[in-house]
Amino acid sequence: MLIRRHREKEKEKNEVVEKVETVEKVKKTTTTKKKTKSTTKK
């Protein structure tokens, strides 16, 4: 029981981390897109 509960907690942690990572990725992609746009204009 304890092990299962611990695993579930780890899963939740991983899910939260993944969500944060995806948000960071999206932020990075949007900033890089802006950067590429400015470079292409040149």
User: Within the chain, where are the H helices?
Assistant: 2-41
| pLDDT tens per residue across span 1-42 | 688 888 999 999 999 999 999 988 888 887 776 666 656 655
C-alpha to C-alpha distances, 33 to 27, 36, 41, 42, nearest whole angstrom = 10, 5, 12, 14
Spatial separation of the C-alpha atoms in residues 3 and 18, rounded to whole Å: 22
Spatial separation of the C-alpha atoms in residues 3 and 40, rounded to whole Å: 54
DSSP state for residue 42 in the 8-state scheme: -
pLDDT of residue 39: 60
